[in-house]
Amino acid sequence: MFRNVAELVELAEKEGILISDIMIKQEMDVSEKSFEEIFDQMDRNLCVMEEAIERGIKEKVRSISGLTGGDAILLQNYIQSGKSLSGEFLLDAVSKAIATNEVNAAMGTICATPTAGSAGVVPGTLFAIKKKINPSREKMVRFLFTSGAFGLVVANNATISGAGGGCQAEVGSATGMAAAAIVELMGGKPIQSAHAMAIALKNMLGLVCDPVAGLVEVPCVKRNAMGAANALVAADMALAGIESRIPCDEVIEAMYKIGQSMSRDLKETAGGGLAATPTGRALEAKIFGFSHEK
């Protein structure tokens, strides 16, 4: 139905419908399921996201390695102190993004958006918005279809794999997906969703995938936190009328080419970046009893 963002926006504008409508139709065509079946499945995904967030912000979940856990609660407590500089709404989104990834690191159930390592950005921003404006359940489910539409374009034209394109392909894609979906949820135009995706992804270009000890924990959890903040700012910029000078599809193509040019050490191998720092190697040795230091 659509191959890229330009076609996605054109379809939505031509038919006078939402991007989420386009994505639902796409799913119906591919799966041969009814609207109700498709919508109910996405609603179940939303439930999984909500449960992960609630667990992460209320329980002291810890990963088996001990590298991550408890930071979402620390942020929630900090918000309640009234001393934050960033503001309650932004930090709520950040804490909920962290919560999701802490649950993932603790072997809990999450919904990959688009991957497990980048699963915090989309639900983190969505459930912060829920707390702020209390959108209908339908709008929340549509948020996921909209983010999915942009994620589908990236997956089909570039990569959403850290091993294939670095963290820009994982958290970067998730950040763009969330930004685009926020715009639709807030009543923006399809073209503004495209600009939000472009603005968000542009600011994640070149981000390497360098998991300490090869685990999806450090720096992955905190990168989701920053992705959530990035997505909100990018969405606000697009809603304000700011446009990306580089079209969204070209930004996606640039991301892919940058990923192709990255060293293997910077694509999920734990061979470089933060994983190769003295502390990174020491943590690896502590967890596994050996280090892959060259």
pLDDT digits (tens, 9 = 90+) for 227-265: 999 999 999 999 999 999 999 999 999 999 999 999 999
Residue 25, pLDDT score = 97
Contact indicator for 210, 270 with CB cutoff of 8 Å: yes
- Report whether pLDDT(272) > 80: yes
Contacts of 231 (CB under 8 A, 6+ apart): 121, 125, 175, 176, 178, 179, 182, 196, 200
What values do phi and psi take at 267, rounded to 5?
-130, 75
Could you tell me the two tokens for 249? 């599809």
Nearest to 160 by CA among 207, 97, 111, 118: 118
* pLDDT bracket for residue 293 (50, 70, 90): low
pTM of the model: 0.97
The phi-psi region of residue 184 (left if phi > 0; otherwise alpha if psi is between -120 and 50; otherwise beta) is alpha
- Report whether pLDDT(55) > 60: yes
* pLDDT bracket for residue 8 (50, 70, 90): very high
Could you tell me the two tokens for 209? 């995938």
Residue 88, pLDDT score = 97
What values do phi and psi take at 72, rounded to 5?
-65, -40
**Could you give the CA distance from residue 104 to residue 49 in angstroms, rounded to a whole number?**
11
Q: How many CA atoms lie within 13 Å of 46's alpha carbon, on the beta-carbon side?
A: 22
**Could you give the CA distance from residue 125 to residue 97 in angstroms, rounded to a whole number?**
7
**Could you give the CA distance from residue 111 to residue 214 in angstroms, rounded to a whole number?**
21
293 vs 73, residue with greater confidence? 73
Residue 1, pLDDT score = 86
